[in-house]
């Protein structure tokens, strides 16, 4: 079987299950980057006063990075390889909104800017309606 985004599910790429999967759709993916679409739900973590706290964008960035690195894992080690998660360190974040309203769509782009074995640095941007609403630089480590 040739592996394409069309024949992979989020469960093939991420260790997350159930309501902890915050990504709605994978728009682009390869070994270097991923672009996802997330729709803000009332069931998400960090709900406050009719919206979701912007800190949830760190998780959106981490899951989008997980899609990219899951894609790389499937292509280098196969679909049935271990889906061990990544430990995430937050090097830098900036949020440009006070909250995310239910039903709003967030486009997340994550790009591996540095890769050394099981260490990655990932640059992420979050947009809503073509407006930059957040940025994050993540450091990822996966135990062998």
From residue 106, give the alpha-carbon distance in Å to each of 40, 83, 144: 8, 25, 32
| Domain 5-141 fold | Thiol Ester Dehydrase; Chain A (3.10.129)
Has this prediction a pTM greater than 0.85?
Answer: yes
User: Widest CA span of the chain, in angstroms?
Assistant: 47
Q: Rounded distance, CA 68 to CA 54, Å?
A: 22
Q: What is the pLDDT of residues 26-63, one digit of tens each?
A: 999 988 999 999 999 999 989 988 899 999 999 999 99
CA 80 to CA 100: how far, in whole Å?
36
Query: What are the φ and ψ backbone dihedral angles of 11, each rounded to 5 degrees?
Result: -65, -25
């Amino acid at each position: 079987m040739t592996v394409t985004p069309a024949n992979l599910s989020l469960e093939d790429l991420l260790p997350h299950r159930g309501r902890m999967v915050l990504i709605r759709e994978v728009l682009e993916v390869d070994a270097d980057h991923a672009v996802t679409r997330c729709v803000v739900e009332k069931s998400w973590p960090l709900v406050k006063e009719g919206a979701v706290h912007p800190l949830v964008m760190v998780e959106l960035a981490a899951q989008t990075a997980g899609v990219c690195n899951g894609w790389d894992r499937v292509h280098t080690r196969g679909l049935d390889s271990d889906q061990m998660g990544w430990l995430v360190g937050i090097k830098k974040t900036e949020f440009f909104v006070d909250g995310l309203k239910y039903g709003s769509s967030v486009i997340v782009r994550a790009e591996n800017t540095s890769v050394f074995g099981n260490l990655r640095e990932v640059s992420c941007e979050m947009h809503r309606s073509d407006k930059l609403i957040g940025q994050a630089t993540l450091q990822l480590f996966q135990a062998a």
